[in-house]
Structure 1
Amino acid sequence: MGSPADLVDVLDLVVRHEIVLPLVDRESPLVEAATAHRYPESGAAFGKVVLRP
């Protein structure tokens, strides 16, 4: 985490629409959380792994 000043800087980027949304590599159901957790550890992930209900 950053400092309060870092938060202000990031929020300013959001307001100016200069933040790039995170790249989602894969979505997995919550029941497959263990498998989903191993995926980025393998080095194969290029972005976020999202767990959904």
Structure 2
Amino acid sequence: MNETQLEAGYRKYSDFLLYKPIDVSQLTMAVDNLIVEKNKELLSNKK
């Protein structure tokens, strides 16, 4: 089964978190960006 782009992104992101200390503001910003991108994708698929 192929992983979706989102799943791949989360996996890459969690790997990144394991190796690199990150502050909370960067973390929340990255998550927000991920959500925004996903919402755009979903909206464009509905058209």
Normalising by the smaller structure, the TM-score range is 0.3 to 0.5
- Report the TM-score when normalising by structure 2: 0.34
Q: Which one has a larger percent helix, Structure 1 or Structure 2? A: 2
- Report the TM-score when normalising by structure 1: 0.31
Q: Which one has a larger percent strand, Structure 1 or Structure 2? A: 1
Higher-Rg member (1/2): 1
